[in-house]
Amino acid sequence: MLQTRHQLFFSGPRTPEGIRNLMRMNGFVHVTGLGTKTRSGENEYTIGEHSNMKCGYWDRNNCKLVVVTKEGEVWLRSTVSPEREGIIETAPLQGLINMAAPNGQGAFVPLSNGEEVDFHLFLARIADPDYGIEYEQEPVIG
């Protein structure tokens, strides 16, 4: 079966490469623009276009940790287990979160209430954070 490459146009700039690399090294996946579905298969929302999405904030819910960078990119990772839900594991991780999302807690946490995304697209984003995204603004240097 031939998969077509989905294309998303992102109106904001790319998050600085240094922060993006640290996000990846700390287990985050860039999920901006991925469409979500309910378990019954109904379309729900596109990550990053949710009405509650605020730039520069982070939060966690149901074992998911989200960082919405100042530039508006949405990065998600697992907090591993429910007993660790309230814990940010290390000071360096908290430092990265504070740098990428300086406004503190208060972000909408996608995929934390049973929503699902296309597994192929999610895997593609692990390998290439920019898979299917075309940026309308030049990347931020830093």
Task: Please indicate, yes or no, if residue 142 is contained in any of the structural domains.
Answer: no
Whether 34 is in a domain gets the answer yes
Q: In this predicted structure, what is the pLDDT of residue 2?
A: 36
> Measured between alpha carbons, how far is 78 from 112 in angstroms, rounded to an integer?
10
pLDDT score, position 58 = 95
Sites in the chain below the pLDDT cut of 50: 1-5
Number of domains in the chain: 1
Q: Distance of CA 23 to CAs 14, 94, 116, 136, Å?
A: 13, 11, 22, 22
Residue 125 counted as domain residue: yes
Per-residue 3-state assignment (H helix, E strand, C coil) for 59-96: EEECCEEEEECCCCCEEEEECCCHHHCCCCCCHHHHHH
Task: Classify each residue of 81-94 as buried b or exposed e, where b means 16 or more C-beta atoms within 10 Å of its C-beta.
Answer: eeeeeeebeeeebe
Is residue 29 a part of any domain in this protein? yes
Strand-pairing partners, residue 61, are: 64
Residue at 141 is within a domain = no
Q: Please report the pLDDT score of residue 50 as a whole number.
A: 65
State the pLDDT at residue 81.
57
46 beta partners: 35
List the domain range (segments joined by +) for residue 94: 8-135
Residue 53 maps to a domain:
yes
Does residue 68 fall inside a structural domain? Answer: yes
**Is 140 contained in some domain?**
no
Residue with tokens 């946490």: 109
Show the tokens assigned to 141.
Answer: 């240097």
